[in-house]
Amino acid sequence: MSDLRIRFDHVTKCYGTLCVVDDLELDIAKGEFVSLLGPSGSGKTTLLMMLAGFESPTKGRILVDGEVIDNTPTYKRDMGVVFQSYALFPHMTVGDNIAFPLQMRGIGKAEIAERVTRVLDMVQLSAMRDRWPAQLSGGQQQRVALARALVFEPRVVLMDEPLGALDKNLREQMQLDIRALHNRLGLTIVFVTHDQSEALTMSDRIAVFNKGKIEQIGSPREIYDHPSTRFVANFIGETNLLEGIVDGAAGNGVRVRLPDGRHIAAAASDTLADGQNVLVSIRPERIRLDDLHGGTNQLAARITDSVYQGNHLRIQLDEGAHNFVVHLDRKAAQHQPGAEVMARFQPDDCWVIRS
């Protein structure tokens, strides 16, 4: 990691006997966009609140730029926080809200005016400068909150589900906007979300949380294509999981024996011992359907359902031992429920997870 900015060093946070963040380690580099992704109650907000200084760790240390910040009060931490509910000051205009952090830093009037103008331009709200927050739409308020957190050029920007309250179109627009700002300004961003597609779209790295621990951390591609646990495979996107036992090598992967004796060739990250229990994850969009027989990695199945979902066709297969979900191109309209087909997938698209 080039330039270390934040380090969570074995951080634990307990409320009574319940530890909502459990011995967690996480390094974030300067200029990195890291998403914290996980189900509700997994401790994402708690971690962010500890970084911002609203909560203190029960155990462990947090370092920023090499310094332990546990005893630094929030107002000296120099971190911009965007709250899920925006937390704009209702008694100040948009311009005054954005000027607030600059005033707190004793910056001169002229410079404040200039910087507010610049950041308002950036979030395309120049016309709203003298409005009250209550007169803005949700998306506009969100951008004001963003502008306020960015205008003082903080070391880190923390965002706690900032897009949660927006409708889908606006949310996707804002995702791209924030991403573009990140690239342009080289910001270090920690972004909390429980929307997996949001995390995939925006992040350099995603940390998948489960019960106060990080299950896996990596680039969106790593997380999606090579999940390391059943939880991650299930949580990020839809997948088909087959239980089996490792039974020798195949190419640069392994052969997995299914309970009924058939074999699947699959890719794996590291060497696995024969006889080990594993799961094979196959993404729905990586499965092809045809009626040719022969070759590896194919299973005979019957179509039980076929649903048109706009950008793809979602097909349910019954293979006897398993139910499969397959996403096909929406033009593949010939598949009707009841038809017998062969489900086929490349060894590269089958990923082995230790179970």
Partner 1 sequence: MSASTGTGRFAAVALIAPLLVFIAVFFIWPLFTVMSQSVSDTAVLNLLPRTAQAAKGWDPESPPTVEMKTALAEDLQAVEDRQALGDMTRRLNSAQPGFRTLMSRTTRALRKDDLPDLGEVDERWNQPVYWQAIVGALSPTTDRYLLAAVDLERDVSGNIVAMPEEASANRTIMLRTFWVAALVTLCCLAIGFPYAMLIASTEGWKRQALLGAVLLPLWTSLLVRTAAWFIILQDNGLINWMLTGLNITSGPIPLIFNRTGVVIAMTHVLLPFMVLPIYSVLLSIPDNLMKAASSLGAHPMRAFLRVLLPLSLRGIASGSLLVFMTAIGYYITPALIGGAGDQMISSVIAFYATGSANWGMAGALGVVLLAITILLYAVYGRLSSAEERRG
Q: How far is CA 64 from CA 26, 49, 77, 178, in A?
A: 12, 14, 9, 23
> Residue 15 binds which one of Mg ion, ligand ATP, partner 1, none, with CB within 5 to 8 A depending on kind?
ligand ATP
Residue whose CB is less far from partner 1, 152 or 222: 152
- Least distance from C-beta 245 to Mg ion, angstroms? 39
Identify the burial level of 95 via C-beta atoms within 10 angstroms of its C-beta, where 0-12 means exposed, 13-18 middle and 19 or more buried. buried
Minimum CB–partner distance for residue 148 and partner 1 (Å): 7
Candidate list 194, 226, 283, 286; residue touching ligand ATP; CB under 6 A: 194
CA of 61: how far to CAs of 73, 190, 208, 235, in Å? 15, 18, 21, 29
Of the ranges 25-33, 73-81, 177-185, 345-353, which one interacts with partner 1 (CB under 8 A)?
A: 73-81
Q: Smallest distance from the beta carbon of 191 to ligand ATP, in angstroms?
A: 12
Q: Does 75 bind partner 1 (CB under 8 A)?
A: yes
The set of residues, in sequence order, having a beta carbon less than 8 Å from that of 329 and lying 6+ positions away, is: 312, 313
Taking CB under 5 A as the rule, which mask of x and - marks residues 42-81 in contact with Mg ion? Answer: ---x------------------------------------
Closer CB to ligand ATP, residue 142 or residue 281? 142
Phi, psi angle pair for 196, to nearest 5°: -70, -35
Q: Which of 84, 140, 75 is nearest to 103 (CA)?
A: 75
42 binds, options ligand ATP, Mg ion, partner 1, none, Cβ within 5 to 8 A by partner type: ligand ATP
Contact criterion met (CB below 8 Å) for 34 and 208: no
- Bridge partners of residue 353, in order along the sequence: 279
CB of 260 to Mg ion, least distance (A): 43
Binding site for ligand ATP (CB under 6 A): 15, 20, 38, 40-46, 194
**What does the binding site for Mg ion look like in residue numbers (CB under 5 A)?**
45
